[in-house]
Chains A and B, each alone.
Chain A
Amino acid sequence: MNPSEYTYAVACIRSNETKLLSAQELNSVINAAGYREAVRRLNDRGYEIAGSDYAAALEKRLSDAWGLLETLLPDRSQFDSILIENDFQNLKSAVKALVCDKEAGSLLFAPSVYDADLIVDAVNRNDNDSLPEPLRHAHRSSYRILTQTRFAQLADSVVDRAALEWSIKLADQADHPIMRQIAQTRAACADIKILYRCIKAQKAQSFTERCVCACDAFDKAEIIAVSQQGRDAFLEYLSHTDYADAAVALRESPSAFEKWCDDKMLSLLRPAKFDIGGPAPLAAYWFAVQAEVKDIRIILSAKHSGIPDEIVRGRVRELYV
């Protein structure tokens, strides 16, 4: 990869970063007296939220951001490792819709590597060979599990694990190390989340083994074995790894851990602020927009429900700019 290929794209992104909310602006939205005032402040910063339906405006914000990235990316395949997760989500939706005899249309995620309609069509025809190669094995497994056992949780976990494994595989093929770091960090965070849930639900080791994805951060067999010894042993194990802060967050609450995962990803990408080329600033912008949208969703939903600002402040993700 020639980093100078991205010089134009990175400069465009730098201009667009000025449209991202700053921490101060986000604070002002949190401090707004009520939902209407919060929406007014957001609309002043370019959002187009009308009434109480903020979901459409947030979706538009995400699709606009991706639309921009798509026009700027010299090689879209560099982002496959980030987007492939949505293809697996679409596969999940398509299989579930088929099994429940429903339409998958409203459950599909974008942006994705492959055309979502192609996935739905192949799943509906049960034509495994028409599916893109990364999805085939996961489709076979999840379809069999759902139709034979109706064990939706296991079917989901099998697809999620395949998504992480393919994300790592595609990231290894990408030219830039940041893609590998993103994929590995995502996989490690997902493993911690899955194992913690398995501990809480007292899942058998055989189930856990099918859900956990191998990543560089942990020895898979070891972390699964530790998780079988209970929550305290698991958190103690984590506190001796690079993910020690995850243990602290998990001790606080699962939502604190979710926030920690998002913050960890942005802190990984923050050095891209100083890059003049390469795909890292573009990836950082994409994650930054997602974090911003997540924050606004948290704030507006809290304003709607009358949740105190202090609780909201503890939940919002760190921002990129």
Chain B
Amino acid sequence: MSNSLAVFFIIFGAVLAAGLPGMGSARGTSLVGQAAAGVVSEDPSKFGKVLILQVLPATQGLYGLLIAILTLSFTKVMGGGMPAYTWQQGLAFFAADLPMAVVGYFSAIHQAKAAAAGVGLVAKKPNESGKAITFAALVETYAILALLTSILALNGLTSSFGI
């Protein structure tokens, strides 16, 4: 029973880590995509510049997927040879996934808003596209910090549980 609950927590954590940032990235790229389409409909030559901005909020989904894979791999839920876990250990792995899940979701949406504003900047001043990308890219910092936190927490747990 304890092992089953632990596995539930581990898998639920991995699902959230992949799912929430993925949802945020989907919403974010959609928002920037609409703005980009608006600009390209008037000036197709700006496609390359606005595409970079659209890609920016997509990274959170990838980070989330990475954490999900690391969680399943570190805990050996994936690949076989999984040791018996207590439910507290399962919950600890779940907690390790939360930074990426929560921060990934919100940072993707907020980064998309910054990127959509950047699309407006590119529409009016194409030469300033570097600045538009920088403004949006700064939001990425917090997704990266969350990614690092989750990786370090997973590493720490794996070491301390002797897996």
Contacts and interface: CB of A to CB of B under 8 A. Distances in A.
Interface stretch (A4-12, A49-57, A307-315): A4-12
B13 to A, nearest CB: 30
Nearest to B30: A4
B100 interface: no
B39 A14 contact: yes
B154 interface: no
A249 interface: no
Nearest to A11: B38
Contact of B41 (A4, A12, A17, A277): A12
A126 B148 CA distance: 75
Contact of B38 (A4, A10, A18, A274): A10
A13 B34 CA distance: 13
B117 A11 contact: no
A14 B64 CA distance: 33
A11 B36 contact: yes
Contacts of A11: 34-39, 116, 119-120, 123
Contacts of A10: 35, 38, 120
A156 to B, nearest CB: 41
Contacts of B37: 8, 11
Contacts of B123: 11, 14-15, 17-18
Nearest to B122: A14
Nearest to B32: A7
Interface residues of B toward A: which range? 10 to 19
A276 B124 contact: no
Interface in B31-48: 31, 34-39, 41-43
Contacts of A17: 123-124
A16 interface: yes
Nearest to A4: B31
Nearest to B38: A11
Interface of A is mostly: helix
Nearest to B36: A11
B35 A15 contact: no
A69 to B, nearest CB: 13
B120 A276 contact: yes
Contacts of B42: 12, 15-16
Interface in B74-120: 113, 116-117, 119-120
A12 B38 CA distance: 4
A7 B31 contact: yes
Contacts of B39: 11-12, 14-15
Contacts of B120: 10-11, 14, 276
Point out which of A10, A18, A274 has the most chain B C-beta atoms below 10 A from its C-beta. A10
Interface string A44-76: 000000000000000000000000000000000
B91 to A, nearest CB: 36
A276 B38 contact: no
B26 to A, nearest CB: 13
Nearest to B125: A18
A274 B117 contact: yes
Point out which of B37, B39, B120 has the most chain A C-beta atoms below 10 A from its C-beta. B120
Interface of A: 4, 7-18, 274, 276-277
21 contacts: A4-B31, A4-B34, A7-B35, A7-B116, A8-B35, A9-B38, A10-B38, A11-B36, A11-B116, A11-B119, A11-B120, A12-B41, A12-B42, A13-B38, A14-B38, A14-B39, A16-B42, A17-B123, A17-B124, A18-B123, A18-B124
Interface of B: 31, 34-39, 41-43, 113, 116-117, 119-120, 123-124
